Amino acid sequence: MVLRYDAGEVITAMVTPMSAKREIDYNAVEVLAKHLINNGSDAILVAGTTGESPTLTHEEEIELLSTVRRAVANKAKVVMGTGSNSTDTAVRMTKLAKKEDVDAILSVVPYYNKPSQKGMIEHFSAVAEASDLPVILYNIPSRTGVNMMPETVAYLAEKYKNIVAVKQSCADMDLVSELRIQCPEDFAIYSGDDSLTLPMLPIGAHGVISVASHLFGTEIKSMIKNFKAGELIAARNMHKTLFPVFKKLFMAPNPVPVKAALAHNYLIQDFVRRPLVELDDAQKAELFEVLDSVKSELA
């Protein structure tokens, strides 16, 4: 099946490197982006939740996009998070992303104001009509407070050809099955949680929008490739090996643990913007013990 738009199987929701002053370290952004595309990432998502989008200014988001685009030099696709709980803002940021020549956008279900399914349809219709950019919907009830139902996604996917995919961050596999049944076959479903990637593949997911791919991108890519090639035991074994990392990276609010892990690997400095706070020494020791154990098992 040819997808209406294919951003790849592993999209990394990239962290935003910060200095000790909590200012964006654009040199580190460039280094990290290059590292990701050399280690399993088909695309990079900038200004997503993992990129600390709630604390970024719109000007910073555009500069991040420009920096990553220069770094990847057409070796990978670049997706930008343009979502908002204000429809007008989501539309404006989508138009700005279009001007910056982004490959696709990710648009989250409006958070905090908890729209109805009809409200979601009107919101995403406005986003889809704002440009011809491919739109990846983002359903994450744990953060938005409301669940976008499969019939809503299917309606939007049928009506707008540039609504091309959904990032599903919800552990209910029945909802994933309903998405696959109700949505067009050329519409892509992405796992929004690393630990759900392998469970979602047999019921129709295409890949993952990942956090753990900062650290194990090549391994996650091989897991997906092995599953699709029918090498089910190899895929399952990789999932089992990486599972402790998948869970430990959410021992504290994302992206706090993954930033600590990247700093442990000397790729970025370990700073997040308030109201997030860095891990304490005991938490870091717990995280690093798991990371080092998994690395040893993979060696």
CATH number of the domain that residue 59 is part of? 3.20.20.70
Phi first, then psi: what are they for 294, rounded to 5°?
-65, -40
In a domain, 258, yes or no: no
From the list 145, 143, 103, 138, the residue with the least C-alpha distance to 124 is 138
Q: At what angle do helices 213-228 and 232-248 cross, to 10 degrees?
A: 160
Residue 80, pLDDT score:
98
**Count of beta carbons in the 10 Å neighbourhood of residue 223:** 26
- As a whole number of angstroms, the distance between CA 170 and CA 196 comes to 9
- As a whole number of angstroms, the distance between CA 218 and CA 99 comes to 32
Residue 16, pLDDT score:
98
Residue 41, pLDDT score:
98
In a domain, 298, yes or no: no
In a domain, 270, yes or no: no
Predicted TM-score of the model (pTM): 0.97
Q: Which of 5, 26, 111, 138 is flagged as catalytic?
A: 138
In a domain, 23, yes or no: yes
Residue 74, pLDDT score:
87
In a domain, 22, yes or no: yes
Q: Which of 5, 77, 111, 167 is flagged as catalytic?
A: 167
Residue 75, pLDDT score:
94
The structure tokens listed for 286 are: 């717990």
138 is catalytic: yes
In a domain, 104, yes or no: yes
In a domain, 244, yes or no: no
Integer CA distances (angstroms), 235 to 21, 230, 268, in order? 42, 9, 30
In a domain, 3, yes or no: no
pLDDT digits (tens), the chain, 299 positions: 699 999 999 999 999 999 999 999 999 999 999 999 999 999 999 999 999 999 999 999 999 999 999 999 989 999 999 999 999 999 999 999 999 999 999 999 999 999 999 999 999 999 999 999 999 999 999 999 999 999 999 999 999 999 999 999 999 999 999 999 999 999 999 999 999 999 999 999 999 999 999 999 999 999 999 999 999 999 999 999 999 999 999 999 999 999 999 999 999 999 999 999 999 999 999 999 999 999 999 98
Q: How many domains does the chain have?
A: 1
Domain that includes residue 146, residue range? 10-229
From the list 60, 52, 138, 142, the residue with the least C-alpha distance to 93 is 60
